């Protein structure tokens, strides 16, 4: 009897020990895909004239691309795989997909790249991508993990950081710098130059390196593989606003906030903020102002939600398409209206949710901006009109390496060949200005 009880107890204990394991295994089986381990390499957005780019794009896809409409009863309720809860994956290979800059000038093609897949019935060889700066620079592991873990629609790639692969890799990704490997370059090998920062904050390449790159990957929308800081996608391209269920002005007692540490930005944003503060309350937090709130304290950003009506999302440089997390995260992801300075107004319009910000260059002077802000401060309806985009979409993970893999395969299928004759000129000429955009002539723009 006791023996039996003891045995039963042992069995129970064993079961209890195994249960978490079993549950983990089950969870692994059931989970659609693990969340990204590290923030994916931030990517920029596309540079196009005044239009709601994600819109137009997605809409076209819904209407014209057979793999988007075929099959299911209620396709419209299925979000694409790269959105939260999404399960819609590309159904078939589209040889004409708009993946490369020349396919869709002015468009970042991020969604099309994520929805590209290879023919199902072909045996596709694995492409080797060499990371010239090592794995640490990217937060990824060797091999196919990155592609398989993320369930990339095109996952026939492997990552290497072994310099002995330089002669055989299908593509080499260089981050910020270019140090050539001492081996003969195969004709089909694709060299990619990646920049995270804007031209003022990237080092110049050696003259011998300016004409060796096939592709670029930067936040610029005319890069081959656009890597935006954040990418907004609507759930439904036709629905860009919603009725509000709250008053975003409620309980706010303060006007303009700004968190800033670099007081000597090239675009003279501090001078602008000081001018603005002559006409409306501007609380400057950090080294350049009199208010203090440590960066690491989450209450600082909560303060934006609770107390402030406006936030100065001023970039440190006025460069083409240069829109960073200062806008997307500090601004848009809080309940505060971002006032923006950095890229041109039309470039913000192309990447921001509909009616979600105010651009300083919409106003002739800081004083005029201040009077508009005062008007918004007094008119809750007008103020709230800038928050109707909330809940109509989300900032997606742009799965950078999924797209690199898709592009390397697509390039070969198309027998496409491309190269930058002078990648430094492409990156720098006319890209930035120390003045306002509206007073800047092309030929006087800053070369860095």
Ligand X SMILES: *[C@@H]1O[C@H](CO)[C@@H](O)[C@H](O)[C@H]1NC(C)=O
Instruction: Please report, as ranges, the residues that interact with ligand X according to CB under 6 A.
Output: 187-188, 190, 212, 214, 246, 250-251, 417-419
CB of 172 to ligand X, least distance (A): 11
CB of 191 to ligand X, least distance (A): 6
Of the two residues 13 and 246, which places its CB atom closer to ligand X in the complex?
246
Of the two residues 191 and 399, which places its CB atom closer to ligand X in the complex?
191
Of the two residues 31 and 187, which places its CB atom closer to ligand X in the complex?
187
Phi, psi of 309 (to 5 degrees): -85, -35
CB of 216 to ligand X, least distance (A): 12
Active site residue 325: no
CB of 283 to ligand X, least distance (A): 19
Of the two residues 304 and 396, which places its CB atom closer to ligand X in the complex?
304
Half-sphere exposure of 189 (CA within 13 A, CB side): 18
Of the two residues 28 and 187, which places its CB atom closer to ligand X in the complex?
187
CB of 8 to ligand X, least distance (A): 54
CB of 213 to ligand X, least distance (A): 7
Of the two residues 184 and 264, which places its CB atom closer to ligand X in the complex?
184
Given the residues 197, 241, 394, 412, select the one marked as catalytic.
197
Closest residue to ligand X, judged by C-beta, is 419
Among all residues, which ones are annotated catalytic? 197
């Amino acid at each position: 009897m006791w023996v039996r009880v003891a045995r039963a107890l042992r069995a129970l204990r064993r079961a209890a020990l195994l249960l978490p394991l079993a549950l983990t295994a089950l969870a692994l089986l059931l989970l659609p895909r693990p969340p990204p381990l590290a923030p994916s390499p931030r990517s920029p957005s596309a540079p196009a004239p005044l239009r709601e780019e994600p819109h137009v794009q997605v809409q076209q896809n819904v209407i014209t691309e057979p793999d988007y409409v075929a099959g299911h009863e209620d396709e419209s309720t299925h979000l694409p795989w790269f959105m939260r809860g999404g399960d819609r994956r590309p159904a078939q290979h589209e040889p004409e997909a708009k993946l490369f800059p020349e396919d869709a000038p002015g468009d970042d093609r991020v969604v099309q790249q994520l929805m590209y897949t290879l023919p199902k019935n072909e045996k596709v060889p694995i492409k080797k991508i060499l990371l010239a700066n090592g794995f640490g620079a990217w937060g990824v592991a060797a091999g196919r993990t990155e592609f398989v873990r993320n369930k990339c629609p095109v996952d026939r790639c492997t990552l290497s950081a072994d310099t002995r692969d330089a002669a055989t890799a299908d593509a080499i990704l260089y981050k910020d710098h270019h140090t050539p490997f001492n081996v003969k370059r195969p004709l089909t090998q694709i060299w990619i130059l990646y920049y995270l920062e804007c031209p003022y904050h990237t080092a110049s390449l050696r003259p011998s390196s300016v004409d060796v790159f096939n592709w670029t990957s930067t936040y610029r929308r005319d890069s081959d593989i656009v890597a935006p800081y954040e990418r907004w996608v609507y759930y439904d391209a036709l629905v860009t606003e919603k009725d509000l269920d709250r008053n975003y002005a409620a309980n706010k007692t303060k006007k303009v906030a700004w968190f800033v540490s670099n007081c000597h930005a090239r675009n003279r944003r501090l001078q602008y903020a000081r001018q603005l503060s002559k006409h409306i309350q501007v609380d400057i937090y950090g080294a350049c102002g009199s208010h203090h709130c440590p960066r690491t304290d989450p209450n600082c950003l909560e303060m934006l939600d609770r107390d402030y009506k406006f936030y100065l999302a001023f970039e440190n440089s006025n460069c083409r398409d240069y829109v960073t997390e200062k806008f997307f995260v500090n601004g848009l992801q809080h309940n505060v209206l971002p006032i923006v300075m950095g890229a041109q107004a039309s470039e913000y319009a192309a990447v921001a949710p509909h009616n979600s910000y105010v651009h300083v260059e919409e106003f002739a002077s800081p004083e005029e901006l201040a009077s508009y802000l005062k008007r918004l401060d007094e008119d809750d309806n007008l103020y709230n009109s800038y928050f109707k985009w909330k809940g109509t979409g989300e900032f997606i993970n742009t799965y950078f390496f999924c797209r690199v893999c898709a592009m390397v395969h697509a390039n070969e299928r198309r027998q496409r060949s491309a190269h930058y004759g002078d990648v430094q000129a492409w990156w720098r000429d006319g890209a930035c200005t120390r003045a306002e955009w509206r007073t800047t002539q092309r030929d006087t723009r800053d070369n860095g």
